[in-house]
Structure 1
Amino acid sequence: MASSLSIILALVLAVATTNAATITVLNKCSYTVWPGAFPVGGGTRLAPGQSWSFQAPAGTQSGRIWARTGCTFDGSGAGSCTTGDCGGVLACAGPGKPPASLAAYTLGAGSVSDFYDLSLVDGFNVPMSFAGTRARGSCRTVSCATDINSQCPPELKVDGGCLSACLKFNTPQYCCPLPSSPARCPPADYSRFFKRLCPDAYSYAFDGKGSIFTCAPGTDYKVTFCP
């Protein structure tokens, strides 16, 4: 019995590994970034031109990748970042602090598709793109290559980034409190500002149409900072 269980476990692990997605993060910015990744990946430091890869198992839910900027860490991995900080550690064990441009994904399994998007719902700090690299079929490259920081409205501007209106003002007009719906929470001037500069990206809570993309399960992905 123990031998049979071991064989079954080995087969399950082999299938999970086969269906895992390799996610590569590339820094094409002229400055150092510290990518964060949650719930898998953690984080690291990337000088200009460097890349980093990690495995995300099939079925990973609500995965996210973002750039941290202005970071300092000691030899134990403790420190802080100007934007995107995740609790003062190099290897993130939770989401990053806004503002941070966000690459989000949910990996399917079997015949279930992967879903991925770029989100500016929490604001913007670094231009980025998100693409399938070993895809069965076509996967669209999603990009937010504009430097929104240089055009950020003064009232949303913070050190290193551009806040969303919800984070700045915390009012129902911008935050879509529950219970809510597209009819009760239309786009506002600030979300239209983000959408105009980055049409592929989520700009507010109900900006799902045309902002969520799919790939076949088993696809590998590349996130590029400053594409």
Structure 2
Amino acid sequence: MAGLNPKALHVGFLLLVLLSADFATGCVITIRNRCSYSVTACAQSGSGPVSRYNVGAGGSQAMNFGSSCSWPDGIIFPSVGGQCTDRNLANIAEFTLGGFANSDYYDLSNINAYTIGLEIRPTQIAGGATPGGMRCGSPKCVINDIRGFCQPNNYIVQHPTGALTCVNRDGTAGVQGSAGTRQFKNACPSSYSYPDDGATSLYNCPTGTNYDVVFCP
């Protein structure tokens, strides 16, 4: 160990401890943009203020919920218009961190619409839980040909940028098992297509887990 500065070693050790503590605590959601273009990501808890992040192609944005590990009724969605006022024209990643039985609950929702591919991936799973099925699974929804996919009663909205959204007309109306909601369910079986679609769409994982929300997975 000759030639090493003891003070520098001490500082380095403290930094390692702090990093390890943060790693163990978890409760971080990282938004990752795998699209070839920038995406405006919007995040909100309940009726609270909306946080807006401009995430460049290949970029990421971390949301750290600290030691409380609490984020009730949280949503993350891509805003095609860039102002986070078009939630009804987007597919959504939904979270409740720190929910019932010391568990997080999360899902992907196409109840309103679909605009770009989304995936939720648990990364650092608290307590050593093994992913399987609805327990710490990774729901994913990618529809490559939106125009070809979107058939009545659903309909296309074309944005000024040229981006397309398929609006789930029956999903927003709460209609289950219609031809329109089945289009979404068949394309993305692990995502909500209408409000009571939780049996195959609602996932859970121990509180303290970290997650990635991936655009264009």
**CA separation of 1:148 and 1:209: change in aligned 2, threshold 3 A:** farther
2:195 maps to 1:198: no
Could you list the per-position Cα deviations for residues 94-126 of structure 1 after superposition, in whole angstroms to 9, with x for gaps in the alignment?
A: xx5321010001012695211000000011111
Amino-acid identity (%): 29
Q: Which segments of 5 or more consecutive residues in structure 1 lack a partner in the other structure?
A: 1-17, 72-79, 87-95, 168-173, 177-184
Q: Counterpart of 1:209 in 2: which secondary structure?
A: helix
Shift of 1:186: 3.5
> For residue 155 of structure 2, what is the aligned residue in structure 1?
156
- List structure 1 runs of 4+ shifted beyond 3 angstroms: none
Contact in 2 for aligned 1:19/1:217 (Cα 8 Å): no
**CA separation of 1:148 and 1:36: change in aligned 2, threshold 3 A:** farther
When normalised by structure 2's length, the TM-score is 0.73
Aligned AA for 1:68?
S
2:78 maps to 1:67: yes
Contact in 2 for aligned 1:110/1:217 (Cα 8 Å): no
Shift of 1:70: 4.3
Report which of the two has the higher share of strand: 2
Match of 1:216 among 203, 206, 210: 206
Contact in 2 for aligned 1:27/1:226 (Cα 8 Å): yes
> For residue 35 of structure 1, what is the aligned residue in structure 2?
41
Query: Larger radius of gyration, structure 1 or 2?
Result: 2
Q: Which segments of 5 or more consecutive residues in structure 2 lack a partner in the other structure?
A: 1-23, 159-163
Contact in 1 for aligned 2:170/2:178 (Cα 8 Å): no
Q: Counterpart of 2:106 in 1: which secondary structure?
A: strand
The count of residues paired between Structure 1 and Structure 2 equals 177
Contact in 1 for aligned 2:26/2:124 (Cα 8 Å): no
Shift of 1:69: 1.9
Match of 1:51 among 37, 53, 60: 60
Contact in 2 for aligned 1:105/1:114 (Cα 8 Å): yes
When normalised by structure 1's length, the TM-score is 0.70
Report which of the two has the higher share of helix: 2
Aligned CA RMSD, in angstroms, stands at 2.5
Match of 2:169 among 140, 165, 168: 165
Q: Counterpart of 1:44 in 2: which secondary structure?
A: strand
Could you list the per-position Cα deviations for residues 59-107 of structure 1 after superposition, in whole angstroms to 9, with x for gaps in the alignment?
A: 3211000111243xxxxxxxx4xxxx33xxxxxxxxx532101000101
